[in-house]
Structure 1
């Protein structure tokens, strides 16, 4: 019982000290800390291979996988997409994310496959 009382008293004393001295989290933080600025997303012309559907892309040596694959009949290009390639732009908002867009309004989001050294499936 004495241990519980001592712990309670110690917590009460710490609370009083914190109230009297102010919160160290709000008072001792310098206001001139540097702000991390993220580099802008890279965007460049890209020919997306669509012949067997849209499932993967190789961008700057990194293998990416479509978040929602788009596959046409019999593993072909989806309806409304050029075959074997769709020309557009690939944007890399971060090292592990890529987004393909074209002038027709198509958009496909990709995420990196860490450690991948080849496509999951080779298209004929």
Structure 2
């Protein structure tokens, strides 16, 4: 089972190419997801093992669409990191409002991947 844990920070921690990350940073609990977070993993995940949560950063635009994502910290398994990023990219949220106006926000969220998910069967 996957779980989200609240992670609070005051500024976006990573920079990437493209438009700047919104300065308003929110927790997952502050948003209303319209779709589920669906982690789809290949049948055999052999590169690395899960050593902790994958910490993701997502730019949620004023329409509630994920505009871009970044990996702030790896779970220890590159395949699971990429699967987590993909699952976040396809999510849709109800627009976040500040003072009644739909606004762009930065979401920072750890994704707790079960350790057994990152191990190849023996």
- Same structural fold, with TM-score higher than 0.5 when normalized by the shorter chain: no
TM-score, normalised by the number of residues in structure 2:
0.29
* More strand, by proportion: 1
Structure possessing the higher relative contact order (Cα contacts under 8 Å, 6 or more residues apart)? 2
Q: TM-score, normalised by structure 1?
A: 0.28
Higher radius of gyration, 1 or 2: 1
